[in-house]
Structure 1
Amino acid sequence: MAYDQIDRPQIALRLDAELRHAHPMTVLESAVETFGDKLALVSSFGAESAVLLHMVSKIKPDMPVMFLDTGMLFGQTLDYRKNLAAKLGLTGIRDLRPAFQDLATADPEAKLWKTDTDACCHVRKVLPLDRALTEFDAWITGRKRFHGGDRLSLPVVEQADGQVKFNPLANWGKTELDGYMAEHDLPAHPLVAQGFPSIGCWPCTNPVEEGQDVRAGRWAGSEKTECGIHVARAPDAVSNVGGDI
């Protein structure tokens, strides 16, 4: 069922009120019931991704799963994506890559991350995902409040950039995540054992010391905390290629 963009803020508010204390499986079931084939999951296949991917595999294994292959990922992440998808029987995975023209214009030498991480994330993550999500009315993220920063006040359901976003794991902490992984015998990302509790692109991801925040290794040494896909943008951002990136 498609919803006019005018309706989506009201839908998000209603669903958040209904689901703000619900189990993640209940949130996912409601999302599928409400939006059907107009719903997608965005997954990094990172440190904690197996939990949400496993839940989706039990509810709708053919759900479109958007995986941002930035060209800068760890080899271990690419292997994990392949192996976990096969183990869980996920059949709707879409590998999203930056457009050749965008890279030729903005990052022809693949060194943009050294001088402007925001611009690098924009061309390698934000633009490919924006384009892919135009066919959907709603999408699912794996964000959690315990990751801190702007995520501390994360709702379970929200409206952003004209779409409804579901954050089924918003209420869960590390204890719940670890328990679910153990209960369902889910394989961990291979870099977790090497001190990476949050995993992105290799130039901008470092291991963390014991006691540090989960995302302390992401863009370490800078004020940057988000890649940009969860930051509100101007309505014409999708077409803003080669401009202010």
Structure 2
Amino acid sequence: MEQPKLPLAPVAQARAAERATSLADHLDRRHRGQTALELIDASVRHLFRNRIAMVSSFGADSSVLLHLVAQVDPSTPVIFIDTEQLFEETLAYRDDLVARLGLTDVRSHRPRPERLKRLDPENFLWQSDPDLCCRIRKVEPLADALRDFPAWVSGRKRFQNAVRAALPAFEADGPRIKVNPLADWTAKDIEAYRIEHGLPEHPLVKFGYLSVGCAPCTSRVKPGEDPRAGRWRGREKTECGIHLPGLMTTESHGSGI
């Protein structure tokens, strides 16, 4: 019987994070100037062979990175977090892309049932505490899903908002390495690639949803706004939390709630 993994002690956590930071800086310098496909190939086939996963929301821009990963290795694990509050169009889009691209290892993860029962029994937590809602519906499931992976691939891009403006190709994420192959791509680059390769558009993009998350917290983007302006509109919140410091703490010590 496999023994459960014990949480890292705080000192061990800090040391692991320091090593990851050093490695990320080294990799970012070493691979500077490489194309997105080259970065993915290096990460999936060499640097983290059999130890890396892609995380995808199957949202507005997701088809491009999924297509690139499929070219390198369609058996690369793809982690999808089903928050149970997604648009039906997103779930259908996921199924379409998986079939089109021949992805063979898409892993769907959901929130822990006991957490939903205790903290969001009526499914209205997004109104009263959106940070906690994101934590139990996205951050915790992703921490569970990434437990065995020392590295993961993200689809974030610098143009999406000011928070991401200095995004590197490789960055430390607690004890892990996060790879951002599309960091320097523009919205025009994304659209040109999608059209060139005949990739389908997310069904909601044509209605003005330029960034697609959970249905209750996603709205149309107005002309001139950042692509992510439609997320958590009217609130200070700009990120769900999976790309903010703390995922390691969530994984190692639980929620603390």
1:208-223 alignment runs, 5 A limit: 208-223=221-236
Residue in structure 1 matched with residue 12 of structure 2 by the alignment: none
Question: Structure 2 stretches of 5 or more lacking a match?
Answer: 1-14
User: Which consecutive aligned stretches of 4+ in structure 1 deviate over 3 angstroms post-superposition?
Assistant: 4-7, 239-244
3-state SS of 1:61 partner: coil
Deviations 1:67-119 (A, max 9, x none): 01000000000000001100000011000100111111211111100100000
Aligned equivalents of 1:64, 1:84: Cα separation in 2: 14
TM-score normalised by the chain length of structure 2 = 0.90
Alpha-carbon spacing, 1:57–1:234, altered in 2? closer, same or farther (3 Å):
closer
Paired residue type of 1:146: F
Is the 8 Å Cα contact of residues 40 and 66 (structure 1) preserved in structure 2?
Answer: yes
Residue in structure 2 matched with residue 31 of structure 1 by the alignment: 43
TM-score normalised by the chain length of structure 1 = 0.94
Which of 211, 219, 222 pairs up with 1:198? 211
Residue in structure 1 matched with residue 30 of structure 2 by the alignment: 18
Deviation at 1:146, TM superposition (A): 0.3
Is the 8 Å Cα contact of residues 20 and 155 (structure 1) preserved in structure 2?
Answer: no
1:225-236 alignment runs, 5 A limit: 225-233=238-246, 235-236=248-249
Aligned equivalents of 1:139, 1:55: Cα separation in 2: 15
Residue in structure 1 matched with residue 69 of structure 2 by the alignment: 56
1:42-53 alignment runs, 5 A limit: 42-53=55-66
Which of 150, 164, 174 pairs up with 2:177? 164
Alpha-carbon spacing, 1:162–1:239, altered in 2? closer, same or farther (3 Å):
closer
Give the CA RMSD over aligned residues: 1.5
The number of aligned residues is 241
Alpha-carbon spacing, 1:221–1:27, altered in 2? closer, same or farther (3 Å):
same
Aligned equivalents of 2:171, 2:137: Cα separation in 1: 25
Residue in structure 2 matched with residue 145 of structure 1 by the alignment: 158
Aligned equivalents of 1:218, 1:45: Cα separation in 2: 16
1:61-100 alignment runs, 5 A limit: 61-100=74-113
3-state SS of 1:27 partner: helix
Alpha-carbon spacing, 1:76–1:195, altered in 2? closer, same or farther (3 Å):
same
The answer to whether structure 1 residue 136 and structure 2 residue 149 are counterparts is: yes
Residue in structure 2 matched with residue 181 of structure 1 by the alignment: 194
Aligned equivalents of 2:65, 2:250: Cα separation in 1: 28
Deviation at 1:160, TM superposition (A): 1.3
Deviation at 1:210, TM superposition (A): 1.5
3-state SS of 2:85 partner: coil
Aligned equivalents of 1:203, 1:31: Cα separation in 2: 35
3-state SS of 2:33 partner: coil
Aligned equivalents of 1:48, 1:241: Cα separation in 2: 31
Paired residue type of 1:38: R
Question: Structure 1 stretches of 5 or more lacking a match?
Answer: none
